[in-house]
């Protein structure tokens, strides 16, 4: 990942010791790392650096991580940037608040450097594994994988990365019931620790955008895209 091909990570935390530790370990793996200690600088740096991944502390004075994430997701250039929260809060709050704001994942403090680096690698790898140059179309929804856009009739939508990947997975085989375990493995990876509400929050947000009738729940099993 040396040189211009190195993937870029923006670390945001109001604790300098944590920033320095995580920055050091990521740079050892060849990543380009920039840092910010508050929400305002995080947004400024994200605009200038255009990172592949933003690791965002949820508890910061002034503008907290949830508000930063909300503002970033409202920027067209940040719609598909990977965002994961770094938080010491309880699991339920972290997941619900983070995913509502448009985050892709969360990492719980305290975190061991080796575990942190492995999660960063997994997130970036899965993000780069999406097939390109294809168009999926079913039930009035068209997905352009190359442009990372979703079309419903004449309406064009840009979805956050994980919502987009979840829609692509379900639309890859309309009518097929994808088990929850399979969705976790395909979208988040077996090596990532995501909670029980992760899929539910993303499905609900997708339904709000493309229509309640497009994605069906199969109780006790999983979800399918209605063909």
Last residue of some domain: 128, 162, 179? 128
**How much is the pLDDT for 123?**
82
Provide mean pLDDT across the span 50-76. 90
Same domain, 40 and 122: yes
Domain count, the chain: 2
Same domain, 141 and 108: no
Backbone angles phi, psi at 84, to 5 degrees: -125, 140
Domain that holds residue 218: 135-225
Same domain, 115 and 140: no
Provide mean pLDDT across the span 55-74. 90
User: 214: pLDDT confidence band, cut at 50, 70 and 90?
Assistant: very high
Asked whether residue 177 carries a pLDDT value surpassing 90, the answer given is yes
Nearest to 28 by CA among 106, 107, 120, 90: 120
pTM of the predicted protein model: 0.64
């Amino acid at each position: 990942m040396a040189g211009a091909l190195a993937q870029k990570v923006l670390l945001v935390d109001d604790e300098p010791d944590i920033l320095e530790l995580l920055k050091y370990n990521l740079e050892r793996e060849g990543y380009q790392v920039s840092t910010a200690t508050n929400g305002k600088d995080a947004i400024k740096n994200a605009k200038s650096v255009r990172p592949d991944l933003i690791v965002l502390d949820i508890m910061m004075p002034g503008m907290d991580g949830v508000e930063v994430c909300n503002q970033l997701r409202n920027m067209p250039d940040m719609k598909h940037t990977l965002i994961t929260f770094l938080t010491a809060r309880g699991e339920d709050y972290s997941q619900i608040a983070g995913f509502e704001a448009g985050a892709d994942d969360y990492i719980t403090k305290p975190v061991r450097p080796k575990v942190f680096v492995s999660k960063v690698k997994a997130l970036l790898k899965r993000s780069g594994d999406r097939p390109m140059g294809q168009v999926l179309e079913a039930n009035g929804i068209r997905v352009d994988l190359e442009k990372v856009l979703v079309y419903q009739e004449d309406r064009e939508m840009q979805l956050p990365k994980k919502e987009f990947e979840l829609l692509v997975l379900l639309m890859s085989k309309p009518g097929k019931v994808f088990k929850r375990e399979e969705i976790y493995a395909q979208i988040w990876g077996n090596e990532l620790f995501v909670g029980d509400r992760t899929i539910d929050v993303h499905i609900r947000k997708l339904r709000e955008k493309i229509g309640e009738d497009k994605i069906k729940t199969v109780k006790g099993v999983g979800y399918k895209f209605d063909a």
